[in-house]
Chains A and B, each alone.
Chain A
Amino acid sequence: MELLVQVMIAGITIGSIYSLIAIGVVLIFKSSGVINFAQGSMAMIGAFIAYSFVTQLGVPIVFSLLITFLIAAAIGIVIERFVLRYLTGASLLSIIIVTLGITFIMDGGALAVWGSSNFTFPKLFPAFSLELGGIKVPSVYLWSFITAMVLLVIFLLFFKYSKMGLAMRASADNQKVAIALGISSRKVLSLTWIIASIVATGGGILLASISALHVNLSYIGLIVFPVIIIGGLDSIAGATVGGLIVGVLEAISGVYIAPHLGGAFQQVAAYLLLLIILMVKPYGLFGAKTIERL
């Protein structure tokens, strides 16, 4: 029983980070139809940049984070403006492969600059002893979860109620009409990428705080896909829920199932779930079937 609670807590914490990363992908998809395979690399690079500022350059944490977010935003804009502009209207495979290419560039760059060892991420949050239901929980888990949830709620509210959020949703839904109504799709697009990059960076930093900092962090970009298949490609709330589900699924299968099946089953568990869902619902759990006209 104790073990289960521990597992659940770990799962929910990691899951909330998955949600953060997934939201970035959903955002970009909603506003431009692009599926960004490079989100994980963005998260990883963000974490490394923050690390560099804090540890190697000795800048105070708050400033480091701010600068990191700025740099992340800049990277996002560069990708959007210089690469994806060229590819408007290109096929889905092209978009996927281009973002994969960007992943390689970022991963390679990170390898080149920081090398392939494990780093300890500086402590962002005050540590304290935490006991939940009689189990010791690392305080960083709680902080991470809270941060992730706060960010998620902020984004949900932003999209539902703010003027900019409304503009973004409109642009995603029907770009031409949005332009006709005076919504600048370029601004919306840039803003989307900025937000997505910042969110990814946030997720990366949180993840690095919980586990370790390593260039392999970019593999989190792969977990995103089961999350959005569960939650739906164009639903922020769905991405949130999906992330939590995947996180818990991973944790549970890691502890309970993997020992029986062998190996790192938890890594494929989410993808197995993805396959099962797709077999039953070809457009994802909440996806809408596009009606083709003849």
Chain B
Amino acid sequence: MEIAQHHLEVHNLSLYFGGVQALNRVDLKVKKGIVFSLIGPNGAGKTSLINCISKFYIPHEGKIIFNGREITPLRPYEVARCGISRTFQNIELFKGMTVLDNIKLGRHNHLRSGPLAGMIYWGKAKREEEELETFLDREILDFLGLTPIKHRVVATLPYGLQKRVDLARALSPKPEFLILDEPVAGMNREERQDMMKHILEIKTVWGLTIFLIEHDMEVVMNVSDSIAVMNFGEKIAEGKPEAVKKNPEVIRIYLGHSFTEG
């Protein structure tokens, strides 16, 4: 029997905040190329988990393995360099900068010009910037429909568009592994449909592995290949969407929540 190497593995992960245990020995394995969703009530530890992966928090116990390599001791920016990219629940965009600049920041590590080249500009840095802009226009801005607003300052954009810019920024380094932290939170129906379409497109056309945290069951059921459910810092269920939907534990947590929505 062949054991496919998992893209991301989380072993025995634990995290405490003072007396509160945010994560309790969580184990997860994510295969390459799938959409893996993590669901659970508020405070279940979902965001804490991805914050541990991106190293915003340092777990007290456990290991995180990416492509067979342990990434637990890495610094946050090094994790990003490995090919893991993420969006943020609260849109951590740089609001004073333009859409284009924010997205360019996503490709920060792919650029080579240093301070000296930057100050001189004409020559290496200028070429790099122009190539970058062409690349982004073609691959990212067009794909997400952001070309008409590429020079707008982010702070002036409505919430839905800002979330799209966040996604563009996360996609711009062409990552292998994309973490989406509540991508449709606060969106209306139309925006949600759009986002679902984008997620599926990213999965099929780009071939990424997607790790999704979301509360909207319609989105989760429609796009996921595999779902894990968390509650009180523990993983309580995992499996294909249909199976998870029928799991009595899961139904109990979501008491009153109808899985037949949408």
State whether the Cβ of A294 lies closer than 8 Å to any Cβ in chain B. yes
State whether the Cβ of B88 lies closer than 8 Å to any Cβ in chain A. yes
Among residues of B, the one whose C-beta sits closest to the C-beta of A294 is B56
When distances are taken between beta carbons in the complex, the residues of chain B under 8 Å from A294 are 47, 51, 56, 88-90, 92
Complex CA gap A14/B47 in Å reads 52
When distances are taken between beta carbons in the complex, the residues of chain A under 8 Å from B88 are 294
**Mask: chain A, 277-294; 1 = CB below 8 Å from B; 0 = not:** 000000000000000001
Complex CA gap A294/B91 in Å reads 9
The prevalent SS among residues of B at the interface is: loop
Complex CA gap A294/B93 in Å reads 12
Among residues of B, the one whose C-beta sits closest to the C-beta of A291 is B17
Complex CA gap A271/B232 in Å reads 47
**Mask: chain B, 87-99; 1 = CB below 8 Å from A; 0 = not:** 0111010000000
When distances are taken between beta carbons in the complex, the residues of chain A under 8 Å from B89 are 294
When distances are taken between beta carbons in the complex, the residues of chain A under 8 Å from B51 are 294
Count of chain A to chain B residue pairs whose CB atoms are closer than 8 Å in the complex: 7
When distances are taken between beta carbons in the complex, the residues of chain A under 8 Å from B56 are 294
Q: In B39-80, which residues have CB < 8 Å from any A CB?
A: 47, 51, 56
Complex CA gap A294/B47 in Å reads 9
Complex CA gap A14/B88 in Å reads 52
Among residues of A, the one whose C-beta sits closest to the C-beta of B57 is A294
Closest chain-B Cβ to A292's Cβ sits at a distance in Å of 9
Complex CA gap A294/B88 in Å reads 8
Closest chain-A Cβ to B213's Cβ sits at a distance in Å of 13
Complex CA gap A68/B92 in Å reads 51
Among residues of B, the one whose C-beta sits closest to the C-beta of A293 is B90
Q: In A106-137, which residues have CB < 8 Å from any B CB?
A: none
Closest chain-B Cβ to A18's Cβ sits at a distance in Å of 35
Complex CA gap A294/B49 in Å reads 13
Complex CA gap A294/B89 in Å reads 8
Complex CA gap A294/B90 in Å reads 7
Closest chain-B Cβ to A174's Cβ sits at a distance in Å of 19
Complex CA gap A294/B53 in Å reads 14
Complex CA gap A294/B86 in Å reads 13
Among residues of B, the one whose C-beta sits closest to the C-beta of A292 is B56
When distances are taken between beta carbons in the complex, the residues of chain A under 8 Å from B92 are 294
Among residues of A, the one whose C-beta sits closest to the C-beta of B88 is A294
**Mask: chain A, 254-294; 1 = CB below 8 Å from B; 0 = not:** 00000000000000000000000000000000000000001
**Mask: chain B, 187-224; 1 = CB below 8 Å from A; 0 = not:** 00000000000000000000000000000000000000
Among residues of A, the one whose C-beta sits closest to the C-beta of B51 is A294
**Mask: chain B, 129-169; 1 = CB below 8 Å from A; 0 = not:** 00000000000000000000000000000000000000000
Complex CA gap A294/B55 in Å reads 12
Closest chain-B Cβ to A19's Cβ sits at a distance in Å of 32
When distances are taken between beta carbons in the complex, the residues of chain A under 8 Å from B47 are 294
Complex CA gap A207/B137 in Å reads 67
Complex CA gap A230/B88 in Å reads 37
Closest chain-A Cβ to B203's Cβ sits at a distance in Å of 25
Closest chain-A Cβ to B180's Cβ sits at a distance in Å of 15
Complex CA gap A153/B90 in Å reads 46
Closest chain-B Cβ to A290's Cβ sits at a distance in Å of 14
Complex CA gap A294/B92 in Å reads 8
Among residues of A, the one whose C-beta sits closest to the C-beta of B18 is A291
Complex CA gap A294/B182 in Å reads 13
Complex CA gap A182/B239 in Å reads 53
Closest chain-B Cβ to A293's Cβ sits at a distance in Å of 8
Among residues of A, the one whose C-beta sits closest to the C-beta of B47 is A294
A interface list, Cβ under 8 A from B: 294
- 7 inter-chain pairs at a CB distance below 8 angstroms, sorted by A residue, are A294-B47, A294-B51, A294-B56, A294-B88, A294-B89, A294-B90, A294-B92
Query: Which 4 pairs show the lowest CB-CB distances between chains A and B?
Result: A294-B56, A294-B51, A294-B88, A294-B92
